[in-house]
Amino acid sequence: MPLSEHEQKLLEQLEKQLHEDDPKFASSMGSDPGRSWSTRHLVIGVLATLAGVLLLLVGVTLQNIFVGVLGFVVMGAGVYYATMRNSSPGKEKAARPDRKSGKPRSSFMSSLEQRWDERHRGES
């Protein structure tokens, strides 16, 4: 079920305010636009995974535990490498905007409480 335009605007405002109030938490929780999937990582990871499967099969065929375990480790490393995300060096992290003096900024939770109170005042 898609969000209405009003809900999308509220969600964007909440996300923007979260990034302003606690950028470290926001970046750890959300997807980072500066990080993307790398085709190179995917191709090398898939090739390493296939090599690991082949090593595992060779180890089972030769009944050599060491070769089988090595194949399993290579296979796991290939999957890990294929699913790694690559940070884009060209993109710089957005600087935290300067806060204007005068009006103190409210915290994230207090602004949510204010919106909640405004909704309930409007429904009464």
pLDDT by position in tens, the chain (length 124): 677 888 888 888 888 888 888 777 777 666 555 556 778 888 999 999 999 999 999 999 999 999 999 999 999 999 999 888 766 554 444 444 444 444 455 577 777 778 878 887 876 5
> Which residue, chain included where needed, has tokens 């090595």?
70
Is 123 inside any structural domain? no
Q: Which residues pair with 25 in a beta bridge?
A: none
Cβ atoms 84, 40 nearer than 8 A: no
Q: Which two tokens stand for residue 120?
A: 């309930």
Residue ranges making up the domain that contains 81 = 37-86
| CB proximity list for 31: less than 8 A, separation 6 or greater | none
Is 12 inside any structural domain? no
Cβ atoms 46, 78 nearer than 8 A: yes
Is 72 inside any structural domain? yes
Number of C-beta neighbours around residue 82 at 10 A? 18
Number of domains observed in the structure of the chain: 1
Is 21 inside any structural domain? no
Cβ atoms 34, 91 nearer than 8 A: yes
Is 118 inside any structural domain? no
Kindly state the DSSP code that residue 87 receives in the 8-state scheme.
E
Is 80 inside any structural domain? yes
Is 13 inside any structural domain? no
Is 10 inside any structural domain? no
Rounded to two decimals, what is the model's pTM?
Answer: 0.46
